[in-house]
Amino acid sequence: MENNFLWGGALSANQVEGAYLEDGKGLDISDLLTAGTATTKRKITTSVNENEYYPNHKAIDFYHNYKSDIKLMAKMGFKCLRVSINWSRIFPHGDENEPNEQGLKFYHNLFETMKQYNIKPIITLSHFEMPYYLVEKFGGWRNRKCIAFFVKFAKVCLDNFMQYTNYWLTFNEINNQYLVENPLFPYTNSGLIFNANDNKREVMFQAVHNEFVAGSQVVKYAHSLNANLKVGCMVAASPYYANTPNPEDILKAQKLNQYQMFFSDVQVRGKYPNFILKEWQEKGYHIEITDKDLADLNHGCVDYIGFSYYLSSTVSADPNRKRIGSGNAASEDTVVNPYLQKNKWGWTVDPIGLRIWLNQVYDRYQLPLFLVENGLGAEDKLTSDYKIHDPYRINYLKDHIIEMKKAIEIDGVPVIGYLVWGCIDCISFTTGQMSKRYGLIYVDLDDRGKGTLKRYKKDSFDWFKTVIKTNGKKL
């Protein structure tokens, strides 16, 4: 492991900040997601309904507690912390000419606090926080006008905060929206609410194209400011395995892996792969793409690949095989993998899958990789003496770090860093729960927003502190 390996944590603004309309902030798309459960989907409402509970409105109130929270992370020895800049804090509606100075001030203060503790920000520009006004007025990313709105926002962020970090990410888990039948994914990725007449896949591809173009323009702008600025794409990594040696199963898995890689293909290589162009042609999709778009894509390729990793999926081409899905996060083609355990939310636990994915992706692109999310959601118990014993989380993280180290030290894959997702308990993206806890720091808050908001160190806090201190030698 290189001495400059980046150990740390990862958060998003919408899942931790709260203060959802404070200091000039506008409504963002996550502000209109209700609470759900492991078995109940979150609802998307078109306005704030007083009869619904919206967990992101309050979240864990990081907005007012960031100084003490960053201090706790510094005690763990964090070298970096991934955060997002909420687009609706900077441009409340998204289409203003001038940014909201109070929003800029908050992030300036946050990054100054991190700087005091030598914690480098890893900044995500879009993490499910599109101003809802852009959804209402323009239909979200299906509308090309959002390219200019987003690029303006990104330029303001780069101009104001480039002195704090050289690592930036454009769109969080941009490939989630490929699963168009789950309304949560196209909505949070791209502000898409489908109409009855929409061809969902065609609309999704148009939105994704517009995001690709916007991302490429951001890369070009960042490089024009400083050649040392590194802008990455960000995808959700979930390798697909064939259920049997049957070539039909293998082809099924290959096709699903191809579609997952499509989202990084365009951002890394600067052009569309043939299989996507062929699909558009065969299905009669009309995706608006200009010559300038193609030039932008070609000249705005990313510098590294950021990714999240939680699970793998096993798929079958046999229509008679029982489908189980992968909990609330994956494809309808998934079948049971008898070699892997699952958690309460139906997610498979597959550390070796991380090594497999790292090798596949480096073989494909020869670009540095950055594991910007890995973690375990679980129901933690606060004991009467205010302890949280979470050996299951320690084991999960340890097993994944071991496989990541093998990819680095045995396979020669260059990995920039490892970030624990939800390093402090936060609102779960897929379910809106607090009880699905990822953190190394416990937050006293329940699924209905009740609690003291006090922070407590879990056993995993001290364990990860040792991991960082020994640069991964002591696990």
User: Among residues 297, 28, 277, which one has the least CA distance to residue 140?
Assistant: 28
Q: Rounded to 5 degrees, what are φ and ψ at 66?
A: -60, -35
Q: Taking residues 14-38, report their average pLDDT.
A: 98
Architecture of the domain made up of 6-469:
Alpha-Beta Barrel (3.20)
Q: Identify whether 50 is a catalytic site residue.
A: no
- In contact, 91 and 153? CB cutoff 8 Å: yes
Rounded to whole angstroms, what are the CA distances from 38 to 30, 189, 238? 18, 21, 20
Position 98 pLDDT exceeds 80:
yes
| Angle between helix 274-283 and helix 200-225 axes, rounded to 10 deg | 140
- What are 438's two structure tokens? 């990822």
Q: For the beta carbon of residue 224, count every other beta carbon within 10 angstroms.
A: 10
- What are 48's two structure tokens? 């704030």
> Among the options 17, 173, 211, 373, which is catalytic?
373
Cα 189 to Cα 429: distance, rounded to the nearest angstrom? 12
Of 118-127, 234-243, 244-253, 342-351, minimum mean pLDDT range: 342-351
Mean pLDDT value across the chain: 97
Given pLDDT bands bounded at 50, 70 and 90, which one contains residue 325?
low
- Type of residue at 122: I
Q: Taking residues 346-352, report their average pLDDT.
A: 93
- Whole-structure pTM value: 0.97
- SS3 annotation, the chain: CCCCCEEEEECCHHHHCCCCCHHHCCCEHHHHECCCCCCCCCCECCCCCCCCCCHHHCCCCHHHHHHHHHHHHHHHCCCEEEEECCHHHHCCCCCCCCCCHHHHHHHHHHHHHHHHCCCEEEEEEECCCCEHHHHHHHCHHHCCHHHHHHHHHHHHHHHHHCCCCCEEEEECCHHHHHCCCCCHHHHHHHCCCCCCCCCHHHHHHHHHHHHHHHHHHHHHHHHHHCCCCEEEEEEEECCEEECCCCHHHHHHHHHHHHHHHHHHHHHHHCCCCHHHHHHHHHHCCCCCCCHHHHHHHHHCCCCEEEEEECCCEEECCCCCCCCCCCHHHCCCCEECCCCCEECCCCCEECHHHHHHHHHHHHHHHCCCEEEEEECCCECCCCCCCCCCCCHHHHHHHHHHHHHHHHHHHCCCCCEEEEEEECCECCCCCCCCCCCCECCCEEECCCCCCCCCCCEEECHHHHHHHHHHHCCCCCC
User: Among residues 33, 51, 55, which one has the least CA distance to residue 42?
Assistant: 33
Position 8 pLDDT exceeds 80:
yes
pLDDT, tens only, 415-454? 999 999 999 999 999 999 999 999 999 999 999 999 999 9
Of 50-59, 154-163, 315-324, 327-336, minimum mean pLDDT range: 327-336
